[in-house]
Structure 1
Amino acid sequence: MASSIPFQDLNLPPYPTSPSSLTQSPIIVPNMEPNLETFHEEMPLIIPDPQFSRNIDSAPLAQEPNQDRRVFDRRSSQLVRMNNLTLEEQRVLREDVRRTKMLFDSLRISVSSEQDELFREGNEEGRSRIRGDLKAYSTMKNKGLWLNRDKRVVGSIPGIEIGDVFLSRIELQVLGLHGQIQAGIDFVPANQSTDGEPVATSIVVNEGFKDDQDLGKEIIYCGQGNQISNQRMEGGNLALQTSYDREVEIRVIRGFKYEGSETAKIYVYDGLYIITEIWLDIGRSGYQVYKFQLERVENQARTGTRAFRFTEDVKNAPQSILSPDISMGKERLFPISLFNDVDNDCGPMHYKYISTTIFPSTVNLFLDEDFGCGCVDGCFDNCSCCWNNGGNFPYDFRGVLIRGKPVIYECGQGCMCPPTCRNRASQNGLTKQFQVFKSGDTDSWGVRSLDLIKSGHFVCEFAGEVVTRAQAREMSINRDLLIDGKLFGDKWKEWGDLSRAVDDYVIPTYPPSQPLDFMIDLSKFRNLASYMRHENNELVANVMVQKVLYSHHNIFYPHLMLFALENIPPCRELILDYKDV
Structure 2
Amino acid sequence: MVRITAFAPQDHIHFRSLVRHARLTFEALRGIYQRQENYDGPRNRFDLRASSKMLSLGLWLYRDVRIVGPIPGVQVGDAFAYRAELCVVGLHCTPQAGIGYVPASLVSEGHPVATSIVSSGGYLDDEDSGDVLVYTGSGGRQRNRVEHHADQTLERGNLALHYSYHYSVEVRVIRCHACDSSPSRKVYVYDGLYRVVSSSYGPGKSGRDVCKYKLVRLPDQEELGSKNWCLAKDLKAMINSQVLPHGYISLDLSNGKEAFPVAVWNNVDQESSLLDFDYIAHTEFPLSLEFSPVKRHKGCHCPTCGSKCSCVRKNGGGPVYNQDGTLVRGRPIVYECGDLCDCTMSCLNRLTQRGMKHRLEVFRSKETEWGVRTLDLIQPGAYVCEFSGDVVPGDVPMDEGLFIDPKRFPKRWREWGDASDALLDDNVPQFNHFREPSYVLDVSRRRNFASYISHSCAPNVFLQYILRGNENESCPHLMVFAMDTIPPMRELSIDYGIE
Q: Secondary structure of 2:352's match?
A: coil
Q: Supply the distance in 2 between the matched residues of 1:204 and 1:455 (Cα, whole angstroms).
A: 22
Q: Distance in 2 between matches of 1:431 and 1:91?
A: 29
Instruction: Compute the displacement of 1:231 (Å).
Output: 2.1
Matching residue's letter, 1:330: K
Closer/same/farther in 2, CA of residues 292 and 446 from structure 1, 3 Å limit: same
SS at match of 2:48: helix
Matched, 1:503 2:436: no
Between the aligned partners of 1:131 and 1:424, the Cα distance in structure 2 is 29
Equivalent of 1:99, from 18, 21, 35?
21
With over 3 angstroms needed to count, the CA separation of the structure-2 counterparts of 1:399 and 1:261, relative to structure 1, is same
Which amino acid is 2:383 matched to? Answer: F
Cα-to-partner distance string for 1:16-69 (whole Å, 9 max, x where unaligned) = xxxxxxxxxxxxxxxxxxxxxxxxxxxxxxxxxxxxxxxxxxxxxxxxxxxxxx
1:417 to 330, 340, 343: 343
Contact kept? 1:357, 1:463, Cα under 8 Å: yes
Correspondence 1:187 to 2:101: yes
Structure 1 partner of 2:325 = 399
CA distance in 2, matches of 1:334, 1:368: 35
Query: In the alignment, does 2:446 pair up with 1:555?
Result: no
Following superposition, the deviation at residue 405 of structure 1 comes to: 0.7
Quote the Cα distance in structure 2 between the aligned partners of 1:370 and 1:549: 9
Q: Residue 210 of structure 2 aligns with which residue?
A: 289
Where 1:293 maps in the other structure, the secondary structure is strand
Corresponding residue of 1:138: 52
Q: Offset of 1:365 from its aligned partner?
A: 4.1
* Alignment-derived partner of residue 219 in structure 2: 298
User: What is the one-letter code of the residue matched to 2:275?
Assistant: M
Partner residue, 1:379: 305
Change (3 A) 1:127 1:469: same
Question: Residue type of the partner of 1:460?
Answer: C
Q: Which residue of 2 aligns with 1:176?
A: 90
Give the superposition deviation at 1:506: 5.4
Match of 1:408 among 334, 337, 356: 334
* Residue aligning to 2:113: 199
| Inter-partner Cα distance in structure 2 for 1:89 and 1:322 | 37
CA distance in 2, matches of 1:506, 1:184: 34
Q: Say how many residue pairs are matched.
A: 485
Deviation, structure 1 residue 93 = 2.1
Cα contact 2:340–2:469 (8 A) shared by 1: no
Q: Determine whether 1:325 maps to 2:252.
A: yes
Contact between 1:371 and 1:388, CA under 8 Å: does it hold in 2?
Answer: no
Cα displacement (A) at 1:87: 3.6
The answer to whether 1:89 aligns with 2:15 is no
Spell out, residue by residue over 1:450-476, the C-alpha distance to the aligned partner (whole angstroms, 9 max, x if none): 101110000001111110136x44x8x
Distance 1:126 1:553, change over 3 A: farther
- Distance between the aligned counterparts of 1:381 and 1:362, measured in 2? 34
Counterpart code for 2:467: L
Aligned to 1:62: none
1:307 and 2:260 are equivalent in the alignment: no
Say yes or no: does 1:165 pair with 2:165: no
- Identify the residue that residue 545 of structure 1 maps to in structure 2: 463
Who is 1:461 aligned against?
A: 386
Question: Following the alignment from structure 1 to structure 2, what is the Cα–Cα distance between the partners of residues 91 and 272?
Answer: 21
State the partner residue of 2:267: 341
Q: Match for 1:468: what amino acid?
A: P
CA distance in 2, matches of 1:168, 1:362: 49
Deviation of residue 511 (structure 1)?
2.9
**Cα separation, 2, equivalents of 1:274 and 1:318:** 35
Mapped contact 2:299–2:469 kept (Cα < 8 A): no
Cα deviation, 1:336-374, whole Å, max 9, x if unaligned, reads 112221222222221111121121332244798863223
Report the Cα distance in structure 2 between the residues aligned to 1:80 and 1:324, rounded to whole angstroms. Answer: 48
Does residue 266 of the first structure (1) align with residue 187 of the second (2)? Answer: yes
1:3 aligned residue: none
Distance change (3 Å), C-alpha of 1:384 and 1:129: farther
Question: Retained in 2: the 8 A contact 1:373–1:416?
Answer: yes
Identity, in percent, stands at 41
Residue 85 (structure 1) shift: 3.4
The CA distance in 1 between the partners of 2:80 and 2:378, in whole Å, is: 12
Q: Is the 8 A contact 1:189 1:198 kept in 2?
A: yes
Q: Measure the CA separation in 2 of the matches of 1:383 and 1:469.
A: 33
1:43-62 matches, cutoff 5 A = none
Letter in 1 for 2:307: D
Choose which of 206, 209, 213 in structure 1 pairs with 2:127. 213
Partner of 1:121: none
Q: Which moved more, 1:87-96 or 1:283-292?
A: 87-96
Q: Which residue in the other structure is 2:373 paired with?
A: 448
State the distance in 1 between where 2:72 and 2:33 align. 29
Q: In the TM superposition, what is the alpha-carbon distance from 1:286 to its structure 2 partner?
A: 1.7
Structure 2: how far apart are the matches of 1:290 and 1:435?
44
Gaps of at least 5 residues in structure 2 are: 141-147, 239-243
Q: In the TM superposition, what whole-angstrom CA distance separates every residue of 1:254-273 from its partner, at most 9, and x where no partner exists?
A: 11101143432110111111
1:155 corresponds to 2:69:
yes
With structure 1 as the length reference, what TM-score do the two structures score? 0.79
- 2:363 and 2:117 mapped to 1: Cα distance? 34
SS at match of 2:353: coil
Q: Which whole-Å CA distance do the structure 1 matches of 2:447 and 2:83 have between them?
A: 40
- Displacement of 1:135 in angstroms is 2.1
For residues 46 and 352 of structure 2, what CA distance do their matches in structure 1 show?
A: 23
Which residue, 62, 67, 80 being the options, matches 2:2?
Answer: 80
